[in-house]
Amino acid sequence: MIKAVIFDMDGLLIDSEPFWRMSQKNLFSKRGINLNENDFESFMGKRIDEVVAIIYSRFPNQDKTQEETAEEIVNGVIELVLERGLALSGVKKTLEDLKKQNYKIGLASSSNLRIIKAVLKKLDIESYFEVVHSAQFEEYGKPHPQIFITTAKMLGVPPSECLVLEDSFHGVIAALAANMKCVAIPDTKANNLARFVIADQVLKSMSDFDISSLNH
């Protein structure tokens, strides 16, 4: 029986993946580093410090530290969120429906907490979440399951009674590894959509989400 629903954020609540790509692309292109679509696809679901570490391993001679670079990217994303951020289809209705049905609602994102707060404020949805947790406070980010395990603990619900909504493949792996049910709502332009079949359910939009079909 599902008692709690845990949401990812980037690409699920808000179409922020383009903001991450723009911020990273702008910063690294100034340094003569050109990132492609395959790079961005592989970064989805990962923490920004992990992404920067990957890039630095490929291009080690940088003038700034990894921490400084990650901070610049985060600042760029926040600026774009506040300027252009919009809730994706079905988000507010789903949150409202879950609240009315007395489900515990949490958010578990790989994003920096500053970005999470900016998104929730911009979309005016912070009041729906009983728990908000960032992978920046975990030793490992997704696909490691710890962020979901910690969020379940903060909600006071066993992992087996939690359902995760995710858009990234790394996030789906993390949710399943945490012994939770998982509904995947991947970007329709993502590479290799077939791999999302490992989720309990795959949807095109959150507007299609119906918890009753999974709550047994």
CATH 1.10.150 placement within the chain: 17-84
CATH 3.40.50.1000 placement within the chain: 4-15+86-213
Cβ pair 55, 29 in contact under 8 A: no
Task: Please state, in angstroms and rounded to a whole number, the distance separating the CA atoms of residues 123 and 130.
Answer: 16
Best CA proximity match to 50, nearest among 118, 42, 180: 42
Is 80 exceeded by the pLDDT of residue 172? yes
Place of tokens 């590479």: 191
User: pLDDT tens across 64-115, in order?
Assistant: 999 999 999 999 999 999 999 999 999 999 999 999 999 999 999 998 899 9
Laid out side by side, the sheet with 201-202 consists of: 131-134, 104-109, 4-7, 162-166, 181-184, 201-202
Best CA proximity match to 205, nearest among 66, 88, 101: 88
Is 70 exceeded by the pLDDT of residue 209? yes
Is 80 exceeded by the pLDDT of residue 168? yes
What pLDDT, on the 0 to 100 scale, is given for residue 41? 84
Burial of 137 (0-12, 13-18, 19+ CB in 10 A): exposed
Residues with catalytic annotation?
8, 10
Provide the 3-class DSSP secondary structure of residue 64.
coil
Beta partners for 165?
Answer: 7, 183
Task: Please state, in angstroms and rounded to a whole number, the distance separating the CA atoms of residues 90 and 112.
Answer: 24
The CATH architecture one would assign to domain 17-84 is: Orthogonal Bundle (1.10)
CA angle at 38 for the pair 201 and 179, rounded to the nearest 5°: 30
What is the topology classification, in CATH, of domain 4-15+86-213? Answer: Rossmann fold (3.40.50)
What is the longest distance spanned by two Cα atoms in the chain? 54
User: pLDDT tens across 18-59, in order?
Assistant: 898 899 999 998 988 888 888 888 888 788 999 999 999 998
CA angle at 115 for the pair 80 and 16, rounded to the nearest 5°: 50
Element (H, E) at 121: helix 113-123
Q: What is the pTM of this model?
A: 0.87
What pLDDT, on the 0 to 100 scale, is given for residue 100? 96
User: pLDDT tens across 132-145, in order?
Assistant: 999 999 999 999 99
